[in-house]
Structures are given as structure tokens and as C-alpha cells.
């Protein structure tokens, strides 16, 4: 679409696209900022030597279109080192993480286009869930 003259600002997408590494890679290559949802049970690929860190939860106020407000909590999940795409967990109840009000979010900063990422060769991958 970009080749046909369509220009985009920020991209928002549901988990169907948010869990597609090809979709996120294409957005990064086009230099587009994005926010996508990710199911909480969606695995993230990490190398065995990478540490998974979860920052402390911070409260924030969600403002709805009708003006009502609700307290939410957010924390970042870091797989190894911080990368251009960052992952966050948002919930209404940090003690129990109810599935109906807990979301995973991936966010990519706007950057200049870069070549498609190369796959790591000869390294074993492990899977780490976004939430525990």
C-alpha cells in the first residue's frame, strides 16, 4: 500500500496481527510506530542465556470515551535486552491477573527503515510466556 502512495501514521492492531513477527518486522522496515495486542499466553522466543525481567507494576488511570475512569496497572516484560519492540502487561487486578481484564501489548517506536532481520543460526530457542 505504501508503494501505491498510501501513507500511515501510527498503526494499531489486534492480536491476530500482533502475534505475527512478519507483520511487526514489516512495520519496522517501513519506519512505522505501532501498538499491537498480544494474548497473555502467547510465547516469546528467547535464547537460553537471555534473562526475562518484569518491571514493577505502576498504576495509571484509564480514561474512557464517556469520561469515566478506571485504575489499571502496567509493567514491562524485557526478554534479554530491550529491543525496538517492547512488551507490556496491563491489568485491572495485579494480584490475580483476571484473563478478561489482563492484556499483553507490543509497541514499536518509529525508526528509520532497516533491512529485514536475519535469523540467528545455530542457536537453540526457548519459549517464555508473556505472563506468569
Which residues make beta-bridge pairs with 58? 74
Q: What is the pLDDT of residues 56-89, one digit of tens each?
A: 999 999 999 999 999 999 999 888 777 777 888 9
C-alpha cell at 98: 483476571
pLDDT for the residue numbered 63: 93
Over residues 114-120, the mean pLDDT reads: 41
* Closest among 19, 3, 21 to 116, alpha carbons compared: 21
Specify the pLDDT at position 2: 66
DSSP codes of every residue in 41-54: T-EEEE-TTPPEEE
For the stretch 2-46, pLDDT in tens is 678 777 678 888 888 877 888 888 888 888 888 888 876 777 666
Nearest one of 51, 105, 120, 109 to 81, comparing CA atoms: 51
Note the residue count of the chain: 132
Domain ranges for the chain, please list them: 7-116
Q: Are 72 and 61 in contact (CB under 8 A)?
A: yes
pLDDT bracket for residue 113 (50, 70, 90): very low
Separation of CA 62 from chain center: 18
pLDDT at 126 over 70: no
Specify the pLDDT at position 112.
Answer: 42
Give the pLDDT of residue 14: 84
Per residue in 90-112, pLDDT tens?
A: 999 999 989 889 888 888 875 44
Q: How confident is the model at residue 72, as a pLDDT?
A: 95
pTM value surpassing 0.75: no
- In this predicted structure, the answer to whether residue 118 has a pLDDT above a threshold of 90 is no
Amino acid at each position: 500500500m505504501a508503494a501505491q502512495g498510501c501513507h500511515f501514521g501510527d498503526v494499531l492492531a489486534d492480536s491476530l496481527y500482533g502475534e505475527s513477527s512478519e507483520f511487526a518486522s514489516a512495520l519496522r522496515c517501513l519506519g512505522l510506530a505501532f501498538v499491537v495486542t498480544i494474548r497473555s499466553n502467547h510465547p516469546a522466543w528467547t535464547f537460553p542465556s537471555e534473562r526475562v525481567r518484569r518491571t514493577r507494576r505502576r498504576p495509571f488511570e484509564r480514561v474512557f470515551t464517556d469520561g469515566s475512569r478506571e485504575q489499571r496497572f502496567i509493567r514491562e516484560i524485557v526478554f534479554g535486552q530491550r529491543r525496538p519492540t517492547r512488551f507490556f502487561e496491563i491489568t485491572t487486578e495485579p494480584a490475580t491477573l483476571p484473563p478478561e481484564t489482563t492484556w499483553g501489548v507490543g509497541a514499536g517506536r518509529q525508526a528509520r527503515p532497516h533491512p529485514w532481520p536475519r535469523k540467528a543460526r545455530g542457536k537453540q530457542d526457548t519459549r517464555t510466556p508473556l505472563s506468569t
